[in-house]
A and B are shown apart, each in its own frame.
Chain A
Amino acid sequence: MDWGQLRTIIWLRGRLIRNQWSRSGKLNAILTMIVVGIGYVIAAAGGLGGVLLGAFALAKAPPRDMLVAWDGIVIVFLFFWMIGIVTELQRSETVDISRMLHLPVSLKGIFLVNYVASHLTFSIILFLPAMLGLCLGLVLGRRGAMILMFPLVLGVIFMVTAWTYCLRGWLAALMVNKRRRRAIIAGVTFAFILLSQLPNLLGNLLHNHERHRPGTAKSMPSDQQSSARPAGDEKAPLPPVVLAAHKYVPFLWVGNGAMSLASGNVWPAVLGAAGAFGIGGLGLRRAYRATLRFYRGQAAGKTSVKRPEVAKAAAAGKILLERSFPGVPDEAAALALAFFRSLMRAPEVKMALATNLLMLLIFGAMVLVRRSTGIEDSVKPFIASGAIVFTLLGMSQLMFNQFGFDRSGFRQLVLLPAPRKWILLGKNLAFLPIALGMGLTILAFAALTLHISLTVFLAAGLQLVAAFLLVAMVGNLLSVLVPHRIAPGSLRRTKTSAMTTLLIFASRLLFPTAMIPLFIPPAIGLLMSRVTSLPAAPVNLLFSAVLAGLLALFYKLSLAPLEQLLQRREKQILQVVTEEVE
């Protein structure tokens, strides 16, 4: 690839970005530019801060502090890098190889351009100046051998980017199969979320374990705690396992190298830099080979085996979409089953629901930790209502944009001869088993851990129905008014105008306010028990039933005006949700 071609590719990339911004509206383009500007200012400030930190704060710091400081920077960088991977996973290469190889360019050339372009991420822009600034500051503050921190830091970054590039290439090869592609995107995203939440979860569990262990510092009174702490705890030596980890875990070599250099030993830094460049080189070589294999059609992943007999097998049984519901119009039932089937197969939906479950698990663990402190019975109904709100909050991103996931399927809805209220009812019915399933699971979990009475549990069940109806009504309205296209296999909005983004943000922000009615029955129950001799739980149950009944009536009444609104706006919605991504 010659210089002219490289310049053309850079121009192409810039033009694509510019067009993407301009199509999202002027306001969006301005906001993006402001964010990018802020990013560069932070990068510059990080660089300067790094110099100052190295030259002054760490100039006379003990070796242990050098290790801790560098570990902190590297771990935060890796955390942001991981978030970047998840975001970038759904995007194609900077230069899509399949769109370029019919032109007179070399595979190696495009590969290198893509690899270099993969460094243009927020995590690199934000952290690399800070890291290099810190290296410079340490050279200024400590002089001499600290200059070895430059190759060490660059080596580790090269290693991380090269292997990330290799991982992305491998996943891209696996994702040639469209069905597998979306499952991989969802799976990787979920794995990263789990990975990032793991410290939080483990922290809570360890915290709980420590609290309940007899004789531990936290179980003692505070005056005893201070006497139990070993002298010189602040500067206690690092455990051997931590030091060993810094020798064998490559991304910890930066901290290890800095600590050794501060102690006057240059070899760990030299070997670390050489090792990082070596591992990075291997990663890049492997990535290139994978690209070559992909290009030659020897991509990873098993070849699908043809199953010619499946048609007969499937034709024999009744499929889900042929079923009906008593009391539900046939068209609404067909719509509900089709939507439900689509939802349950969409990896992005599974990902959203799994994330919701994960968050509930983490908060559930926190509740467990605090269980021993003793929660008053009068507070428990409110916790149950809160659990319902939290469950539906996780579902709101799906229910507030019901047509966004249909994409070109929405065209079929416009063409259908069905009353539009059945479309809305069908959409809501499709979400009902998911909401009830998740809500009741969480309620059962809360009931078991907090010893919630059956009456309060039943009341919460009715509140769950009421909350679902409320979210369905609001969701129907927002889906019609603020539809936005979701990229296949992700929860990423595409080509959303600034106004839509603001409205989505406002709807999420106001969600808890809209859920206030849910807390009315337990509040009335509590009030009655305090003012009169009536027990709180039955009053809560009664008013929860009234609330569910009222909302069912409102829901029924809302369908007619919402139908008219959908009828009026269906062509605009079609335009928004079917808009293709570049």
Chain B
Amino acid sequence: MTLAIETNDLTRCFGELRAVDDLNLRVEGGTFYGFLGPNGAGKSTTIKMLTGLLAPTRGTMRILGEQVNNPEKAREIKRRVGVVPEELALFENLTAREYLTFVGRMYRLAPATVRERCRELLAMMDLAEQEKKLTLEYSHGMKKKLTLAAALIPNPDLLFLDEPFEGVDAVASRVLRDTLKRCVARGATVFLTSHVLEIVERLCTDVGIIAEGRLVHQSTMDEIRAAGSLEERFLEAVGSDHVERQKLSWLED
């Protein structure tokens, strides 16, 4: 099995802070990979580097088997990748259909394909009724759904999803989960971050846990299940003593 994502000593510093510290990730193709970590652990910084939104301070990356240092190669890889960034990437003065058409065309899809996929995606995300609204008028959840639709429109081989379920209603969440499962079943790789351990436990086949910029755990979900629950493994990996320490004095009396 080829690796969809491979990083070697990937590091990103912000001044004195090492947000990501010598990260060595191995994500196999066709897996549903959950990337977990507490707030500020470096999950979003990692995704930003992997998707080209942020330059690494040090280290190398291979996405879908290709080095991404070369801009020409990076563009070719981007053609096979869909992204839902943490901070959304919408043009606020376009409608949902216009935005999806724009993204579809940029991925060089045929006009008929763009039109058909736009229709299906807008219906799936329950945005068809709001089609005339500009994205600036959308709620956070609607913006998230539209960004998800844009990530899915090119039918990518690799999907980077940074907190994709945050702010999304239960119905769309269910539809999205099923869609992502179908993507993986078709051979695509999904790399997602989430704070909701239940979602990761239910969806993912592989898990990586990052804490203070370092990869502290990486295994398959089956291995985790064999040894207990994901929550236990997570707390153990990030330091469960935090939970013990976090007590309020005035509630203990």
Question: What residues of chain A have their CB less than 8 Å away from a CB belonging to chain B?
Answer: 177-179, 307-308, 310-311, 314-315, 319-322, 330-331, 333-335, 337-338, 341-343, 345-346, 406-412, 414-419, 488, 567, 571, 574, 578
Smallest Cβ distance from A342 to chain B, in angstroms? 4
Task: Give the docked Cα–Cα distance between A310 and B122 (Å).
Answer: 13
Smallest Cβ distance from B144 to chain A, in angstroms? 13
Residues of A within 8 A of B103 (CB): 412, 416
User: Are B131 and A418 closer than 8 Å at their CB atoms?
Assistant: no
Contact among A307, A331, A342 for B91, CB-based, below 8 A: A342
B77-95 vs A, CB cutoff 8 Å, 1 = contact: the mask equals: 1110001010111111110
User: Are B131 and A338 closer than 8 Å at their CB atoms?
Assistant: no
User: Are B105 and A414 closer than 8 Å at their CB atoms?
Assistant: no
User: Does B134 sit at the interface, judged by CB under 8 A?
Assistant: yes
Contact among A177, A308, A321 for B129, CB-based, below 8 A: A308
Task: Give the docked Cα–Cα distance between A177 and B90 (Å).
Answer: 18
User: Are A177 and B89 closer than 8 Å at their CB atoms?
Assistant: no
Contact among A310, A320, A330, A412 for B108, CB-based, below 8 A: A330
User: Are B102 and A338 closer than 8 Å at their CB atoms?
Assistant: yes
Given A409-B90, A409-B91, A322–B111 Cβ distance below 8 Å? yes
Known pairs A311-B129, A412-B89; list 8 more (Cβ under 8 Å).
Answer: A310-B132, A311-B122, A311-B131, A314-B131, A321-B101, A322-B115, A331-B108, A571-B54
Given A341-B94, A345-B93, A415–B51 Cβ distance below 8 Å? yes
Question: What residues of chain B have their CB less than 8 Å away from a CB belonging to chain A?
Answer: 51-55, 71, 75-79, 83, 85, 87-94, 97-99, 101-103, 105-108, 111, 114-115, 119, 122, 128-129, 131-132, 134, 136-137, 150
Given A411-B53, A488-B92, A417–B106 Cβ distance below 8 Å? yes
Residues of B within 8 A of A179 (CB): 134, 136-137
Residues of B within 8 A of A310 (CB): 129, 131-132
Residues of A within 8 A of B83 (CB): 415
Contact among B52, B55, B129 for A415, CB-based, below 8 A: B52
Residues of B within 8 A of A315 (CB): 97, 119, 131
Residues of B within 8 A of A408 (CB): 87-90, 92
Secondary structure class of chain A's binding surface, majority of residues: helix
Smallest Cβ distance from B165 to chain A, in angstroms? 20
Contact among B55, B75, B87, B105 for A321, CB-based, below 8 A: B105
Given A415-B85, A418-B75, A571–B55 Cβ distance below 8 Å? yes
Residues of B within 8 A of A406 (CB): 91
Contact among A333, A338, A417, A578 for B94, CB-based, below 8 A: A338
Residues of A within 8 A of B101 (CB): 319, 321-322, 334
Q: Which 5 A-B pairs have the closest CB atoms?
A: A411-B89, A334-B105, A417-B78, A409-B91, A345-B93
The listed residue with most A CB atoms (<10 A of its CB), out of B78, B111, B132, B136, is B136
Smallest Cβ distance from A178 to chain B, in angstroms? 5
* B104 closest partner in A (C-beta): A334
Residues of A within 8 A of B94 (CB): 321, 338, 341-342, 345
Residues of A within 8 A of B89 (CB): 408-412, 415
Task: Give the docked Cα–Cα distance between A343 and B92 (Å).
Answer: 11
* B79 closest partner in A (C-beta): A417
* B77 closest partner in A (C-beta): A417
